[in-house]
Amino acid sequence: MRLTIFRHQDVEVLQSIRQSIDPNTIASSIFLRTWDFEIDPCESPGTRFLGILCSFPGGNSSNRVIEINLEADGLEGFLSPILGNLRELTLLNLSKNKFRGPIPESIVNATKITRLMLQENYLSGDIPPGLKNLKGLEILDLSRNRLSGPIPVGISSLRSLTYLSLSNNELAGRIPDMTGLWQLEKLDLSNNELSGNLPELPSSLRAVFLGQNLLYGHIATIDRLQRVVQLHLSGNRFTGLVNQGVLVLPVVRHIDLSSNRFTEMEVKKMTSKRTQLEVLELQKNRISGRLPLNLITYKNLSSVNLGHNLFSGEIPTEYGERVEKGYWRSLYLDNNLLEGSVPAGLVNSTVSGSLARNCITCNRGIPMCRGGQKPASDCIGRG
């Protein structure tokens, strides 16, 4: 076969990709088995070079490899060190395989790439700082690997990013400034070892997942995320106040601030304004005081978890009414310092929830009382 110099370069990379993979993992049913280098990858029949897409320019321009998709093929091996020589590549999807070793530095030379998906492998080492050169990148998913080191500061220059997931790795250090990512809609950095204060985040975000890290300080900057729908900050070391601006974000539906060190929460009474909040998770914090009565004014709220805190006083009758009328389908108030009797609306309720491990006069025949209460010695001066 006669190839132009550019397509010859593409073929060399494809050959290198195949050579970097353990041949014992190339099953007869997967795409890589169809790669036959005796023919031109870009002029092969439909049964050859599956997983490869080429461009078809007019004139005298040569056809080039623009997409490689070998997702979930059970491949084992290393990523080719010359991957970046595919200069016209726009999509690389090698996710859900068993690739190991580093992400090759050469990838930063594939400057036309818009979607880079290497998630769910065994990749290790640092994230190449040269990724900042991939200015057209829209989707970057390196999640569920074994990557370590810091998040490159230059990532903030990827102004076309809409989706960034680096979750479930071993990344450490601070989250860099990302305010320049003005098109970013989903950010997932959960399950790493990231530390420091919560930085200001892009106002374009609709989903934020920063749970299971070592982040600390206050979360006052969150109320600027006026487009966020899902907010997950659980399993960190955030402290202080959950301010009312967080709960009244205009389109937020799910807030998870559980397993932190918050000590206060503000709940604004909603009157004319209707919020979208459906799920509120604040369990396993250190919040004290009375249960917030204003929660009943959040008309779309259906799931509330305030368990494992330091709430005291009686359970508002209105909480029982929200459950009895079917508005709240889940209510967890267990492991607090609550006292008094069970509101009538909770006595016969079979919704998901618990009042266990408080100081309540709570008959064990009541479904939500299963698990018992605190010993009397822990409830002295209460009830």
Give per-10-residue mean pLDDT for the chain (383 aa): 66 94 89 89 84 79 89 95 95 97 96 97 97 96 98 94 98 95 97 96 97 96 94 98 93 98 95 86 98 96 98 97 96 97 93 95 90 88 54
- Cα–chain center distance at 113: 23
The CB-side HSE value for 36 (13 A sphere, CA atoms) comes to 10
Residues near 249 by Cβ (< 8 Å), separated by ≥ 6?
222, 223, 225, 226, 228, 231, 275, 277
> 302 near 327, Cβ under 8 Å?
yes
Three-state SS at 149: strand
CATH number of 218-383: 3.80.10.10
Q: Both tokens of residue 258?
A: 């559980």
Q: Are 84 and 60 in contact (CB under 8 A)?
A: no
Quote the distance between the C-alpha of residue 290 and its chain's center: 32
> What are the extents of the domains in the chain?
218-383
Q: How many residues appear in the chain?
A: 383
Instruction: Say how far apart CA 230 and CA 208 lie, in whole Å.
Output: 6
pLDDT at 45: 72
Work out the widest C-alpha separation in the chain, in whole angstroms.
Answer: 90
Q: How many other CB atoms are there within 10 angstroms of residue 27's CB atom?
A: 11
Closest CA to 314 of 345, 339, 342, 289: 339
Sign of the Cα torsion 47, 49, 51, 53 reads negative
The pLDDT value given to residue 38: 87
Question: What is the model's pLDDT at position 63?
Answer: 86
Cα-Cα-Cα-Cα dihedral of 109, 114, 119, 121, to 10°?
-30
β partners of residue 139:
115, 163
**Residues 87, 111 contacting (CB under 8 angstroms):** yes
pLDDT in the model for residue 61: 67
Instruction: Give the angle 136-140-143 at the CA atoms, nearest 5°.
Output: 170
Alpha-carbon gap, residue 121 to 102, rounded angstroms: 11
**What DSSP state is assigned to residue 230?**
E
